[in-house]
Amino acid sequence: MYDIRIEPFGETFDCGEDETILAAALRNRRYLRYGCKHGGCGTCKVQVLDGDVEITASNFALPPAERDAGTILVCQSYPVEDCILDVGAMNLDEDEFRRGDATTSRAMTVESVTALTHDIRRLVLRHTPDGSLPFVAGQFVNVTVPGTTAQRSYSMANGSADIDRIELICKVLPGGLFSGWLTDTAAPGDPVEVSGPFGALAVRLSHRDLVMVAGGSGLAPLLSMLIDLSRKGCERPISLFFGARTAADLYVTEEIAALAADLPLTFVPVVQLPDANWAGATGLVTDALAAARESWSSSDAYLCGPPGMIDAARDLLVARGVRPQNVYFDAFVSTGETAGV
Amino acid sequence: MPSLVQAHDRVKAVEWTPSYVEHQPRYPTRYKLPRKTKDPFRTLVREYLTMEQEKDDRQYGGFEDVLSRTARSSDADLGWLEGLKLALPIVVYAEYGAEKCQSMLVDTVDNAELRAGYLAQAMDERRHLNQQMYLLRHFAKNAADPAGFDRGMKVRGDNIFARAGRVCFDNFYVNDPIECAISLQVIGETAYTNPLFVALTQVAALNGDHATPGVFLSIQSDEARHMANGYATLATVLSEPDNLPMLQQDFDRSFWKQHVFLDPLISVLFDYFGRGKMNKCYYKLWEEWVADDWVGNYIGTLEPFGLQVPKYFGEAAERLKWSGHTAAMVAAASWPLHYWRWPSMTPQHMEWMENQYPGWYDIYGQFWEAFSCLEDPSMEMIPLQGLSQRPFFCRTCALPCVFPKIDESTERVRQYNGRNHAFCSNACEEIFCQQPERYEATILWDELWDGTSLEEFVVTRDLLRADGKTLIAQPHTRDDSHMWTVDDVARLNFEITDPIKDVKDAPELVKQPDGTLVLKTDELVGTGA
Ligand SMILES: Cc1cc2nc3c(=O)[nH]c(=O)nc-3n(C[C@H](O)[C@H](O)[C@H](O)COP(=O)(O)OP(=O)(O)OC[C@H]3O[C@@H](n4cnc5c(N)ncnc54)[C@H](O)[C@@H]3O)c2cc1C
Ligand code: FES
């Protein structure tokens, strides 16, 4: 057991060697802000003031510069000695911290499951009288896989003005727990437990243009943002790059085209393995980004999708002038894999 | 040293009867009070001034003592101290405007919680004013070259830049009190006090100035509360949805009017004065503190209530890449008009500039090379003489229309009410057109001094050192053997002129029924509008 002291509250709790600091805090009925619990969303970032931790699992949401400056994700960190942590960046007040985990889960029901491509499903969940779930475009929920206690993170893909339902866009992973339920079992009317909303990804107010990059199911939060931006009459120019393996892996393209009618939006679908009919951009999404503009210095970047794509897009955009602070992302790290490491 | 009679006259000189406004007492009395009476102050004046001075000496003596024993202000970087000569009298005026703003708010806002916040802020502002005045006094006594520290307060109304500063900070107490609160608390204090009081504190320390940080950090520790006042005021106003359109317009306008003066000022101080340099230039700090933190976080939280990024924010960001450099160049080119010295630019400093602002050297490097060749009075030339055309001054912001950069101008001239008006930018023109009566009567620096010789300006504005001959301003901070005198200036035969009166046929602005102005177009002419 090690002592973990939390500043600025000056309180200490114990944490086992095989326990993440986040798990220890919650066990001790103290609250630290979290989201995916799997190193993907960056919600649980804190600063180490003293002591050392071991980071054994996925740490993707932490850019190397922050890691070097002593930031850790408490959901992915195990202490190897007594530690002092500063949770100032979480914007927690003392009451929230002492109240423990107040995250509640809500009962929702499946309204529909629609295949958007061979491995992408749109899952619509409807609120029960249990209460609605107000969210900000870019946030995600944790869904408990029915029949298990396992939770999986999915981002809202609909606009935040919808108060009666949430829409998720889910990639079906072979051998995935939630994926299996979604393809084999889920049926309209089925009850589902949902907690959230989580995550700090949101369109930040700024004078700059927006460049959005999505890979696979990573379009979900960006779609939600676009719907909200359109509703607010956004005038900032937006470039959306959507990368897919083949043209058959692209989806909701008509919905995006409809949004482009109201928004200053340039939509660039990018296909890695084009067939003879494909007339659009080809290659990796980063190739298209590079070809589109020499300089992205007047833009803020929003990235969503697999970690590899995010890494590559972030490096390219930063090299082309986006300030590292203005790159916002959610990495869709998968739970099963990282938990298995 | 003024005589007792002079000193007393000076006290009375602050009393005048304004011609432009009728005085309406806020708290009328039933008693009759004659305008002239026996003056109770006269008998006091002799003891009063010496007594107060002695008290000040005693109160601040401890501070002086510590400073003189630890790090003496006379050892601070000479160039940096010149920057403070320029800036402190301007900032002092901002504090004065800030205090006035609180008095207005206390009177206008009928809300006990808000009022308590404003009252505390009023006391803070007075305190800040005193602290900064004391800092000026400290430097006037201790700086290696004190000339100018004692003069800035007196001549700031006659200086090109300090005069524009007054126009900027007038926004803290002219117009609707809520608009003033936005200018001060939401923009001035929330967006700009970090760059001003935190960043400049670091630069001061890097330059061996140990007096300024103590004062600035003490001031900054109050600003969080003032920001909270601003937030509370905004949130209160936003709770009435009807206020939103008006609020957004006031917000847009207020932002531009603070930006247009404060950004060049801070960036000149930050990037040009003092050899000790941070690893970040002002533009980068602005991106973090103003664009990311202020817009992204602070305004971002009010976005759900409908508040939007100020309309001219993008224009400001674009302009800021060069506007500090352009302001520095113009201020250096006009050096004899000022109450501070321009530090020479070293090769290391130029290298830092080029690293921080890639492309800087191509645009500005040549000027600074040439500037250093004209340091010596034997050269008999000031850079101002090399300008093919003198810039006009902007009717809205009162700065010369030289922005964003020398090879790229957004200046325009308009006619309105029988006079020519220049504007430095789209935003300044739009703001003028929204409320012409607010700016129309502004007397710009070149209008004020039109036809005055440089020599006369320097002499009548008291820009000379104690010997009555040597200029306070110099184009270098080198030793005292190359100092320009009033005779050198006289030899230049330079006259201040107001070039805008000679412009013919500028496009005309015409009033619309709602009181705002538009450009008269052929179409309007055709319809006889
Ligand atoms: C903040 C956030 C938001 C997200 N939003 C979305 C979204 O909107 N849409 C979306 O599609 N995804 C999203 N994701 C990703 C999604 O949560 C994961 O992909 C999730 O793991 C899928 O769950 P699953 O149960 O289907 O697969 P999992 O059971 O988690 O399995 C994932 C993969 O790992 C393999 N695996 C399982 N267990 C092991 C093991 N022990 N060893 C090795 N491999 C194993 C599986 O075969 C499978 O291929 C998001 C992730 C995060 C962090
Ligand atoms: S909760 Fe730790 S990264 Fe998401």
pLDDT single digits (tens) A13-23: 999 999 999 99
Ligand 2 in reach of A57 Cβ (< 6 A): no
A–B: how many Cβ contacts below 8 A?
A: 26
Point out the ligand nearest to the CA of residue A223. 1
Q: Which residues in chain A touch residue B255, judged by CB atoms under 8 angstroms apart?
A: none
Of the listed ranges B27-31, B254-258, B313-317, B416-420, the least confidently predicted one is B27-31
* pLDDT mean over A38-66: 84
What ligand has the least distance to the C-alpha of A60? 2
Ligand 1 geometric centre to CA of A145 (Å): 12
Is pLDDT of B83 > 70?
A: yes
A225 contact residues in B (CB cutoff 8 A): none
- B3-58: per-residue pLDDT in tens? 667 767 766 666 667 777 777 777 777 878 776 666 665 656 667 767 777 777 77
Whether residue A252 has pLDDT greater than 80: yes
Q: How far apart are CA B329 and CA A21, in angstroms?
A: 55
Secondary structure of residue B417 in the 3-state scheme: coil
Predicted pLDDT of residue A105: 86
Instruction: Determine the pLDDT at residue B72.
Output: 67
Cβ separation of A204 and B313 shorter than 8 Å?
no
CA B233 to chain CA mean position, Å: 25
Is the CB of residue A32 less than 8 Å from the CB of residue A46? yes
pLDDT above 90 for A240: yes
Chain B residues in contact with A208 by the CB 8 A cut-off are 291, 314
pLDDT of residue B479: 77
pLDDT at B32: 81
The distance of B296 to chain A (nearest Cα, Å) reads 5
DSSP label of A90: G
Rounded CA-CA distance B416/B519 in Å is 10
pLDDT at B110: 85
| Per-residue model confidence (pLDDT) at position B14 | 62
Largest CA distance in chain A: 64
Instruction: Measure Cα distances from B247 to A275, B237, B239, B338, B347 in Å.
Output: 54, 8, 12, 38, 48
Q: Which pLDDT band holds residue A60 (cuts at 50, 70, 90)?
A: confident
Distance A21 CA to ligand 2 centre (A): 12
DSSP tag of B410: -
**pLDDT in the model for residue B528:** 36
Atom of ligand 1 at shortest distance to CA of A152?
Answer: 17
Tell me the average pLDDT across B179-189. 95
- CB count in 10 Å sphere of residue B324: 26
Does ligand 2 come within 6 angstroms of the Cβ of A200? no
| Chain A residue closest in CA terms to B313 | A207
Whether residue B95 is predicted with pLDDT greater than 80 in this model: the reply is yes
Q: What is the pLDDT of residue B526?
A: 38
Distance CA A213, CA A268 (A): 10
SS3 A168: strand
Listed in order, strand segments (DSSP E) in B119-203 are: none
Query: What is the average pLDDT across B388-397?
Result: 91
User: Does position B67 have pLDDT exceeding 60, yes or no?
Assistant: yes
From ligand 2's centre to the CA of A86, what distance in Å? 16
Of A119 and B51, more confident: A119
pLDDT at A340 over 50: no
The residue nearest atom 44 of ligand 1, judged by CA position, is A337
Residue A179 CA, closest ligand 1 atom number = 26
| Cross-chain Cβ contact A207/B299 below 8 Å | no
Round to whole Å and give the CA distance between B289 and A203.
18
* H-type alpha helices, B198-308: 200-206, 212-238, 244-272, 282-286, 300-302
DSSP letter assigned to residue B335: G
b/e map B389-418, b = 16+ CB within 10 Å:
eebbbbbbbbbbbbbbbbeeebbbbbbbee
Asked if A205 and B288 come within 8 Å (Cβ–Cβ), the reply is no
Chain A: residue whose CA lies nearest to B311: A207
* B99 or B211, greater pLDDT: B99
DSSP helix/strand/coil, B172: helix
pLDDT, averaged across chain B: 89
Q: Find the range with the poorest average confidence among A25-34, A289-298, B50-59, B331-340.
A: B50-59
| Nearest alpha carbon, ligand 1 atom 37 | A336
Question: In angstroms, what is the span from residue A40 Cα to ligand 1's centroid?
Answer: 11
SS3 of B141-157: the string is: HHCCCCCCCCCHHHHHH
Average pLDDT over residues A184-190: 96
Q: How far B355 CA sits from the closest chain A CA (Å)?
A: 15
**Which amino acid appears at position B136 of this protein?**
L
Q: Rounded to 5, what percent of chain A is helix, strand, coil?
A: 25, 30, 40
Amino acid in position B127: R
Q: How far apart are CA B345 and CA A111, in angstroms?
A: 70
- Is residue A134 within 8 A of residue A155, CB to CB? The reply is no
Q: Ligand 1: does its nearest atom lie under 6 Å from the Cβ of A140?
A: yes
Looking at chain B, the whole-number percentage of residues with pLDDT higher than 70 is 92
Q: Give me the mean pLDDT over the A132-152 stretch.
A: 93
Which atom of ligand 1 sits closest to the CA of residue A220?
8
Write the residue with the smallest CA distance to atom 29 of ligand 1.
Answer: A176
Nearest CA in chain A to B299: A205
Question: What is the pLDDT, as a whole number, of residue B195?
Answer: 87
pLDDT grade, residue B170 (50/70/90)?
A: very high
Please tell me the predicted confidence (pLDDT) of residue A200: 85
Residue with tokens 């005779």: B487
Report pLDDT for B259: 97
Which residues lie closer than 8 Å to A211 by C-beta, 6 or more apart?
A: A238, A239, A241, A289, A296, A299, A300, A301, A302, A317, A322
Measured CA to CA, the distance from residue B93 to residue B132 in angstroms comes to: 10
- Res A65: pLDDT: 80
Nearest C-alpha in A relative to B291: A206
Q: Give the pLDDT score at B478.
A: 86
SS (H, E, C) B251-268: HHHHHHHHHHHHHHHHHH
Relative to the alpha carbon of A151, which ligand is closest? Answer: 1
Share of chain B above pLDDT 90, in %: 68
Burial class of residue B347, CB neighbours in 10 A (0-12, 13-18, 19+): exposed
The torsion region of residue B75 among left (phi > 0), alpha (psi -120 to 50) and beta comes to: alpha
Q: Does the Cβ of A151 fall within 6 Å of ligand 1?
A: no
Residues of chain A whose beta carbon is less than 8 angstroms from a beta carbon of chain B are 204-208, 323, 325-326
How far, in Å, is the centroid of ligand 1 from the Cα of A334?
3
The pLDDT score that the predictor gives to residue B480 is: 75
The per-residue pLDDT for B529 is 34
**Model pLDDT for residues B356-373, shown as the tens digit of each residue:** 999 999 999 999 999 999
Closest approach atom of ligand 2 to CA A73:
2
* Spacing, Cα A107 to ligand 1 middle (Å): 22
Q: Is the peptide bond before A8 cis (omega within 30 degrees of 0)?
A: yes
Residue-by-residue DSSP string for A221-281: HHHHHHHHHHHTT--S-EEEEEEESSGGG---HHHHHHHHHHS-EEEEEEESS--TT--SE
Pocket test for ligand 2, best of A26, A31, A38, A66 (most atoms within 8 A of CB): A38
CA triple B284-B290-B295, angle to 5 deg: 135
pLDDT confidence band for B386 (50 / 70 / 90): confident
CB A21 within 8 A of CB A45: no
Average pLDDT over residues A47-67: 82
Distance set, CA B175 to CA B178, B181, B259, B380 (Å)? 8, 10, 18, 46
Q: Which of A125, A224, A332 to mutate to test the pocket of ligand 1 (most atoms within 8 A of CB)?
A: A332
Nearest C-alpha in B relative to A300: B292
Q: Which residue has the tokens 């608009």?
A: B179
Q: Nearest by CB to A207, from B288, B291, B300: name it.
A: B291
For the Cβ of A334 lying below 6 angstroms from any atom of ligand 1, the answer is yes
Of B288, B300, B309, the CB nearest to A207: B309
Higher pLDDT residue, B394 or B526? B394
